[in-house]
Amino acid sequence: MAKNRIHFDISERKVLLRIFDIVHVLGLLYVMGIGFDFDYFKINAQHWMWSVVLAVYLTTFATIFELYDLQKASRFNVVVKNVIITSSVTVLFYLLTPFYTPTLPSNRLQIVYFFLAINVALLAWRYAYITLISAPRFYKRVVLIAHGQDVDAIVASLQKSDPNYRVIGYFNTSPRDGRIIHSLEIDSISISEISRLAKETNVSEVVVGAPLSEGMTVELNNQLIKLLENGIPIREYTQVYEELTHRIPVQHVEKDFYRYFPFSRSNQNKLYLFYSRFSDLFISVLGLTFGVLLLPFFLIGNLLGNRGPLLYTQKRVGKNGKRFKIYKLRSMVKNAEKDGAQFAKSKDKRVTKFGRFLRRSRFDEIPQFINVIKGEMSVIGPRPERPEFVKDLIEQIPFYEIRHLVKPGLTGWAQVNAKYGSSNEDALEKLQYDLYYIKHRSFFLDVTIIVKTLSTILFYRGQ
């Protein structure tokens, strides 16, 4: 069988982007130092710390400003904006860092050259990445084994999560379902065609999205074993889905959920729990201090834009299903729920103009630091939901109550990845993210969530 085409997985491409961002920036600065009259930044053994500090700032702010979001990294118009913002903030922090960076030059044009060099290096490399690495020659070509009625949803979820992931054909495990997936332009293939398609198109892997009891015949398994013998990986759909989307596909695991879902050891790790509580208190004190400084602005904005109480409380469901009162800055008109509890919607008319600013900046959640200090919430965790909605969601969505095993949070994996829940479908998507967090809860995932939250605030994308 022909060798598989080269493909970079998600983690490999993110590492590649980080390494080459640094290499190209430092490389161009090194060339400028040799060939031009540029002596502000030098790369040598004596000043090695200058390069380290620049690399740390660059990767940190590039993460915050979404240069490593693969969906956005494949669109050059988005990349240009994010590169300019990243380089601007990086240069600003670099210039203001004492001791470990060069002293400010007498010729201020040197700073301009420094800024332009970072931009040129990043834009040139990212253009090459989009042209070469994101090109079709590096697509991951996949054959899908699944029930015909599930193909649409499976293919859409995989290709949406990874722009370089391409399902080129599927085998329908339901012989009585002859449906063709016209909308996605994917061919239905027979058992005998699986090996031929794998040879002709250099398939990267086979994804099995059907339970063993549904259509996985001896003949089909024999075909898959032949592919396995020829070096083509075969993986189960839920594993691929979790890896690509960072969500738990509860709607596909059902009866096998507890075997499939090993809880993170961090949920019982005393050192992690101590770190989590300490960071909760530390961040809450900072957050409330910031809120007090902005209090005059909130009072004036509320007086002019909301015309009513500044704060409001609402019952929410916390850890182990216990109810508590949440504190928030009011963002809706008075008596917003006179007709009963309802999900907030996009462009909700009940939200005031000042309230919309509070929501998009996420300033409305500052009072929740009080709940964190009281121990009812954590800084990071599933979003606390209202009892009226929880009762219905438990009945309609499998394993919904599992999200109550940890404290709810001001921000979380679902909050930074999913849109604001306005339906049961949105609630299911949020649950998938919440369960992923509970399963993989760790210090590094917490840091990732904090960085993504900063990105949400800076890009004014709160909901």
Long-range contacts, stretch 313-317, CB < 8 angstroms, 24+ apart: 314/386, 315/386, 315/387, 316/384, 316/385, 316/386, 316/387, 316/408, 317/384, 317/385, 317/386, 317/387, 317/390, 317/404, 317/408
Task: Verify that 143 and 120 share a domain, yes or no.
Answer: no
- Please check whether residue 250 lies inside any domain of the structure: no
- Please check whether residue 97 lies inside any domain of the structure: yes
User: How confident is the model over 10-64, as pLDDT tens digits?
Assistant: 667 788 899 999 999 999 999 988 888 788 888 888 889 999 999 999 999 998 8
Q: What pLDDT is stored for residue 123 in this prediction?
A: 95
User: How confident is the model over 398-439, as pLDDT tens digits?
Assistant: 788 888 989 999 999 998 888 766 677 788 889 899 989 998
Q: Which has the closest alpha carbon to 202: 138, 159, 155?
A: 138
Q: What pLDDT is stored for residue 80 in this prediction?
A: 94
**CATH number of the domain within which 182 lies:** 3.40.50.720
Q: What pLDDT is stored for residue 252 in this prediction?
A: 65
- Please check whether residue 162 lies inside any domain of the structure: yes
Task: Verify that 368 and 305 share a domain, yes or no.
Answer: yes
Q: What pLDDT is stored for residue 420 in this prediction?
A: 67
Task: Verify that 227 and 281 share a domain, yes or no.
Answer: no
Q: What pLDDT is stored for residue 1 in this prediction?
A: 42
- Is pTM beyond 0.95? Reply is no
Please determine, for residue 463, whether its predicted confidence score (pLDDT) is greater than 70.
Answer: no
**165-172 vs 187-188, strand pairing mode:** parallel
- Please check whether residue 206 lies inside any domain of the structure: yes
Vertex 392: Cα angle to 389 and 397 (nearest 5): 110
Range of the domain at 33: 10-133
Task: Give the integer Cα–Cα distance in Å for 417 and 420.
Answer: 10
DSSP 24-89: HHHHHHHHHHHHSS--SS--SSTTHHHHHHHHHHHHHHHHHTTTT-HHHHT-HHHHHHHHHHHHHH
CB under 8 Å to 348, separation ≥6 — which residues?
332
The number of distinct structural domains making up the chain is 3
Q: 107, 133, 159 — which closes off a domain?
A: 133
Task: Verify that 328 and 427 share a domain, yes or no.
Answer: yes
Task: State the burial class of residue 287 (Cβ atoms within 10 Å of its Cβ: 0-12, 13-18, 19+).
Answer: buried
Vertex 290: Cα angle to 285 and 294 (nearest 5): 145
- Please check whether residue 370 lies inside any domain of the structure: yes
Q: Determine the average pLDDT of the residues in 376-387.
A: 93
For the chain, how many residues are written? 463
Q: Determine the average pLDDT of the residues in 317-340.
A: 83
Q: If pLDDT is split at 50, 70 and 90, which confidence band does 2 have?
A: very low
Q: Which amino acid is at 38?
A: F
